[in-house]
Amino acid sequence: MPVTSSRPVCILGLGLIGGSLLRRLAGERPAFGYNRSTATVNAAVADGYDASSDLPQTLTRAAETDAVIVLATPVTVLGPIVDAVVEHAPDCLLTDVVSVKEQVARIVAHHHPDARYVGGHPMAGTAHSGWAATDPSLFENAMWMVTTHDDTEADDWLAVADIARAAGSYVVPAAEDAHDRAAAAISHNPHVTAAVTAAVGAGESRLPLRLAAGSFRDGTRVAGTAPELQRAMLEANSVALLNTLSETIDRLVAARDRLRDHGDVAALIEAGHRARTAYEEVAAGEVEPIVGVTIGDDGWAQELRRQAHLARVWVG
């Protein structure tokens, strides 16, 4: 099967991520979607998109057109969705846009042992959710992690990476566990610290909130995300999050003891500044492409992962 941008895409779940992807890909290639809620489907159809609340029918259509199926539902309802895929579209290539990769891979393997599955995770989002918040430019220049194992099929990997590229994103190849540790460090732990910063800040009266300026506003922004969405994301990655959360606590306890006993917060503030500076260098610098790899050649997956650890991305 040649990988071309005309390959259909079937998106299951039309919330912020799935809905934005449907908006982005429709017009460039056949793209259709399913959502359980008829209100969401009606809104999508009213906006001119091809959406249905009939899962078997949608999956049958995916099977007939050899569409790539994108799992875009909350992880909590993924099992029954994959069961339906087994029944109606067992041969279709599967990917997903759910945040935690080890858990999704386990669910897919459990419900669909023969699945052709290559995981994905676009690092994009807003504090809003649902079809009303969807935006076709959500993925523009975002990093889109694509699971890259030594036994990943090259054509399947290319088909999934091609979706990420078509959405405007760069492809970051990674193993599932490395992705989940990274996601805990730079996405899930920041949600925890935003929550605690907000909770501590809302003090004894409305005076503190009235005085709050940029540091509080930016530092607590993601605490505004719907709690159930945050919980689903964080609790699905609990092992990696426990590690980053414990490291966070250890560093804060050391800083508190140092401040109490010696009056300074130098070590923590300087470590934070170094880390932020490193981030700004990566974020502001040119996006460096992975070079010298032909997908499918001997050792291609290993070499992609190696270069990704240097902050390089696959651009095709």
Q: Which helix (H) or strand (E) element contains residue 116?
A: strand 116-117
Distances (CA, A) of 90 to 83, 113, 285: 9, 10, 43
Per residue in 91-101, is it b (16+ CB within 10 Å) or e — as a string?
ebbbbbbbbbb
To a copy of itself, the closest distance from the beta carbon of 58 in angstroms equals 29
C-alpha 235: how far from chain center = 15
Q: How many CB atoms lie within 10 A of CB 273?
A: 10
Give the footprint of a copy of itself on residues 168-187 (CB under 8 A): 172, 174, 178-179, 181-183, 185-187
10 Å CB burial of residue 24 (0-12, 13-18, 19+) is buried
Residue 91 or 288: the one with the smaller Cβ distance to a copy of itself is: 288
Distances (CA, A) of 46 to 15, 91, 173: 16, 31, 36
* Interaction of residue 106 with a copy of itself, rule CB under 8 A: no
Which amino acid does the sequence have at 270?
A: E
To a copy of itself, the closest distance from the beta carbon of 10 in angstroms equals 26
To a copy of itself, the closest distance from the beta carbon of 224 in angstroms equals 5
Per-residue contact flags (x/-) with a copy of itself for residues 212 to 251, judged by CB under 8 A? xxxxxxxxxxxxxxxx--xx--xx--x--xx-xxxxxx-x
Give the footprint of a copy of itself on residues 246-305 (CB under 8 A): 246-249, 251-253, 255-256, 259-260, 263-266, 268-280, 282-283
Question: Total number of residues binding a copy of itself (CB under 8 A)?
Answer: 100
To a copy of itself, the closest distance from the beta carbon of 119 in angstroms equals 14
Contacting residue, 149, 168, 190, 293, with a copy of itself by CB under 8 A = 190
Residue 23 or 188: the one with the smaller Cβ distance to a copy of itself is: 188
255, 97 in Cβ contact below 8 A? no
Per-residue contact flags (x/-) with a copy of itself for residues 112 to 131, judged by CB under 8 A? -----------xxxx-----
* Interaction of residue 77 with a copy of itself, rule CB under 8 A: no
Contacting residue, 53, 196, 293, 302, with a copy of itself by CB under 8 A = 196
- In whole angstroms, what is the distance from residue 194 CA to residue 218 CA? 9
